[in-house]
Amino acid sequence: MYVEDLKKEFYDVLLSKKVLVLANSDVDSICASKILQHLLHSDCTTYSLVPVYGHTSLEKAFEEHGSNYKYIIFINCGGTMDLVESLQPDDDIQIFVADNHLPTDVNNIYNTGQIKLLLKPKPTDNIPDFDDIFQAEESEEEEGDRSDEDIFAEDEDRPRKKSRFDETAILKRRERRLWEDKRDKILDDYTQSTYYGDSAAFLMFELAWKLSKDSNELLWWAIIGVTEQYLLQKVESTQFTLAIGKLQNHVSRLSKHGERANSVAKNCMKIFFEKDLSLALYRHWTLSESVYHTRYTSCKFKIWTLKGQKRFAEFLADLGLPLSQCKQKYSAMCADIRNELKPSFESKKSKYDLSDIIDGTFHANYGWKNRFCATDMLYSCLAHLESPDKNKSDTDRFHDAMDCLTRSKTDLLENGIERAKLLLSAIYRQVHTLLDMNQVFAAGPFLYAVLLEGSPDAAYFSRPQSLTMLAQFLLSAFAATSRSKKANSLPLVLSSPYSSEDDTCLVVGIPPIGQESPKNLFGKAFAAASIRSKSRISFEFFDSSVAVLKTDDRSKFFDSLISVFT
């Protein structure tokens, strides 16, 4: 059941209670958890935060901790599974769900007791009507499991003066079968594709606003959560634009409030929105490296080719930027060149087909010294979260990512930025290698590529979000270089090693770049292909378009996937 009033039906219920928070391992979830932590702490509400990484992790965490709490909050997890059926919670446990994974399970939507959904639905979600998917259960003892043959056999034993079979019972069973067929089709259409809803971090910030507990710091975390959805292509550009408009209104409101309150302390946080270069980490890198490793500019110049590198050099010359300046860190560039960088790119974007090279983004100043862009913060947090360091557990990664958002821990933030450079470099190298070796294959209805065990950068891509980022870069790069007109309309399936001990690989499917909507059909397709091929597959993650597959079954799984799409 959806919650109408966040304050009354959610937050006020938690006050002075013991609360368990189960948070998924993604940036939006981390930002939402930070905001919720701040609110609970301000009202002296006891809580425990437990990171989860998939269905198995969620069930284990609930089993270990659930019995100690009567109020449990799920952040970006749990919404797509039947929570009552899967977790079997006690009747007195109240579960609140803020999950941006869609579609939400209908059993959670129509549960009027234990399950409360915090993210409100949209008309485009096409939630089935209650009467179309639920029907009052008849007594199973009457006609529930009996077939027409059973009824006919019983009628044979009845006196001849009675009907040979009970026509009413058979008609009821046929009506029920027709209703069940209709219900199955409705549910199949509803769950056909997976996609994402609004940011959970922004939801938590709006709660803070309604409680009059909002601040620039909480708003900054909400901004990072919204930015993650756009940068990782989880939502449509129009959905992101609407969110940006709302965030700008909050920035304006809080800045005016700060001015009235004469809040100009040296260590205060100030947020502002401005046009900026759409280049990854360019303030912390060299300009050349940033252009190389930003998916948009790299694919526009086809920079992994000799011709593309020459065109990029021509572009720099046209801007009047010396190569020596572009190859040293941004902070070491001449001040005059830094000041003219954005106007120079703006003046040449039409000539080089770089219409999106300048875009609006949020920045934050930590006092007078530290200034960070929302995308810089996102990359830092993501790099901690997806770290290939084997000495760190998943829980360590989660807390490192959370801590790097804390204002007083800029050293951890800077460390995350350096890790992000390594991740982006690994993605670029892998794309370059796969394209050079012609390892992106057309399988009729989709493209596919495989990273083999022992690949130099394979460790970076044994985690879902890193592999998804690689897939998105690879598909854009392939479409940019391919001569086929179909390249823009083909999705991509990418596989990489996952666990050498279990001999498993990670498989991710992403929609074509020509598709405006980020809705993903691969969750259903993977399930159907695994059944057809009898492949050993595990849908461990909350996004069903990412799966863990036995490496030995990969070939037959891909063959079945082709037949599913044809």
The string of DSSP letters for 218-239 reads HHHHHHHHHHHHHHTT-S-HHH
Buried b vs exposed e over 226-237: b needs ≥16 C-beta within 10 Å? bbbbbbbbbbbe
Identify the burial level of 556 via C-beta atoms within 10 angstroms of its C-beta, where 0-12 means exposed, 13-18 middle and 19 or more buried.
middle
d(CA 376, CA 330): 14
Delimit the CATH 3.10.310.40 region(s) of the chain: 438-565
In terms of Cα–Cα distance, which of 21, 113, 37 is closest to 72? 21
Q: What is the pLDDT of residue 50?
A: 96
Whether residue 17 contacts residue 70, with contact meaning beta carbons closer than 8 Å, is answered with yes
Identify the burial level of 42 via C-beta atoms within 10 angstroms of its C-beta, where 0-12 means exposed, 13-18 middle and 19 or more buried.
exposed
In terms of Cα–Cα distance, which of 308, 352, 235, 290 is closest to 477? 308
For the stretch 382-414, pLDDT in tens is 999 999 988 889 999 999 999 999 888 888 999
Q: What averages of pLDDT result for each successive group of 10 residues across the chain (566 residues)?
A: 92 93 96 96 94 94 91 95 92 94 94 92 88 66 50 51 64 86 91 93 96 94 95 90 92 74 60 92 93 94 93 90 88 88 90 90 78 91 92 92 88 93 96 94 92 87 94 95 88 94 94 88 94 94 94 94 90
Q: What is the pLDDT of residue 161?
A: 44
| Homologous superfamily of 1-122+197-263 | inorganic pyrophosphatase (n-terminal core) (3.90.1640.10)
Q: How many CB atoms lie within 10 A of CB 59?
A: 16
Whether residue 234 contacts residue 329, with contact meaning beta carbons closer than 8 Å, is answered with no
pTM summary value: 0.91
E-strand ranges in 193-278 read 195-196, 269-277
Q: What is the pLDDT of residue 159?
A: 52
Topology of domain 438-565 in CATH is Diaminopimelate Epimerase; Chain A, domain 1 (3.10.310)
In terms of Cα–Cα distance, which of 202, 203, 199, 196 is closest to 234? 196
d(CA 269, CA 214): 13
d(CA 176, CA 162): 25
Whether residue 37 contacts residue 49, with contact meaning beta carbons closer than 8 Å, is answered with yes
**Torsion angle defined by CA atoms of residues 548, 554, 556 and 559, in that order, rounded to the nearest 10 degrees:** 90
Delimit the CATH 3.90.1640.10 region(s) of the chain: 1-122+197-263
Identify the burial level of 539 via C-beta atoms within 10 angstroms of its C-beta, where 0-12 means exposed, 13-18 middle and 19 or more buried.
middle
